[in-house]
Amino acid sequence: MTEETAKPRLSIARLLPLVIVVAAVALIVSMGWHEYLRPRAVADSRDMIQGFVDGNLILALLAFMVLYVVVVTLSIPGAAFLTIVGGFLFSAWVGGPAVVVAATIGATIIFLIAKTALGDVLAARAGPFIERLREGFAEGAFNYLLFLRLVPLFPFWLVNIAPAFLGVKTRTFFLATLIGIVPGTLAFSFVGGGLDSIITSAQADPGFQACIAEELSGGVATGSCKLPIDFGDFVTPEILIAFAALGVVALIPVAIRRLRERAAQ
C-alpha cells in the first residue's frame, strides 16, 4: 500500500456527525429556539422555571446539564449566560460543578466530531508549516490548552475545535478542559446569585418599559424588546487579571522546558 492510499479519506461515515451538528444548528436558528437563551426569555419565565426547580430539583438539574451539553456541542451562543442562570437556579456550589461537567462533556463531543470528520484527514495532508505547528503544540498540549481555558482570549467553541486539527489527544483535551474551566465557571456561577436583582433592575429601566409599552400597543407581545443587561459589566478587571495570572502559571512548565532545551544545545 502506497503512502498516498494510506492517507485517511473523507467519507460519508466520517462526515455524518458533522453534518448532523450543522443541520441541528440550522434547525435551532431557523426555529428561533436559541432566543430562549436570551436574558429576556429567562426573565419572562423565571417564576415558572424557579417553581419547577423547587419541586423537581434532581430532574431540573439533569435537564439543565443536558441542555448545556447540547449548547456547547452545537456551539450555540449563550453558554456564558447559561452558566449564570445555573448559579441563579441551583446556587454556585451546585450549578458550578454541574456546568463544569456538562461543558466538558459537550466540548469533548464536538472535539471528537471535528477530529473524526476532518482532523485526521487534514493532518495527513498538512504542509510543513502546519506539521511544525502540530508538533510544537503537541509538546505542551496540556499546558497550552489550560492557558486557553483559563484566559478567555478566544471563543470557547474555537478552543473546542482547533485542538482537533493539532493532534491533541482526547485525554489531554478532556483533562485540560475539565480543570481549566473551573475558575471562570465558578466566577459566573457566583454572579448568578444576584441575577434576580439584576433582572428586576433591568426590567425597571425606563427605556425597556417604553419599548414594552410600544410593543403591547399592537395588542400582542412580540418579544422584540431587549432586556438592558450588559454582561461585560460582570467581567471585571480584577477577574481578568486573576485569569491572566492563572494562565501565566499554566505556561510556566512549558517555558522551563524550552529554557532547558536551549541550555542543552
> Taking a C-beta distance cutoff of 8 angstroms, is the pair 163, 112 a contact?
no
Q: Is 244 exposed, middle or buried (0-12, 13-18, 19+ CB in 10 A)?
A: middle
DSSP per-residue string spanning the chain: --HHHHS----HHHHHHHHHHHHHHHHHHHHTGGGGGSHHHHHHTHHHHHHHHHH-HHHHHHHHHHHHHHHHHTT-S-HHHHHHHHHHHH-HHHHHHHHHHHHHHHHHHHHHHHIIIIIHHHHHT--HHHHHHHHHHHHTHHHHHHHHHHS-SS-HHHHHHGGGGTT--HHHHHHHHHHHTHHHHHHHHHHHTTHHHHHHHHHT-HHHHHHHHHHHTTTS----SPP---GGGTS-HHHHHHHHHHHHHHHHHHHHHHHHHHHH-
Determine the Cα–Cα distance for residues 142 and 85; give it in Å rounded to an integer.
29
Cell 498516498 identifies what position? 4
Tell me the three cell numbers of residue 214. 410600544
pLDDT tens, per residue, the chain with 265 residues: 444 445 666 667 778 888 899 999 999 999 988 888 888 788 888 889 999 999 999 999 999 999 999 999 999 988 888 999 999 999 999 999 999 999 999 999 999 998 888 766 665 555 555 666 677 677 788 988 988 898 877 889 989 998 888 888 999 999 999 999 998 898 888 888 888 887 888 878 888 888 888 877 766 555 677 777 766 666 666 566 766 776 776 777 666 666 666 666 6
Is 218 in contact with 186 (CB distance < 8 Å)? no
Instruction: Give the C-alpha separation, 241 to 255, whole Å.
Output: 20
* Of 198, 191, 175, nearest in space to 96 by CA: 191
Distance CA 181, CA 118 (A): 26
**Rounded Cα gap, residues 26 and 99, in angstroms:** 25
Query: What does R_g of the chain's alpha carbons equal in angstroms?
Result: 22
Alpha-carbon gap, residue 188 to 206, rounded angstroms:
27
In the numeric block, the cell 424588546 is attached to 225
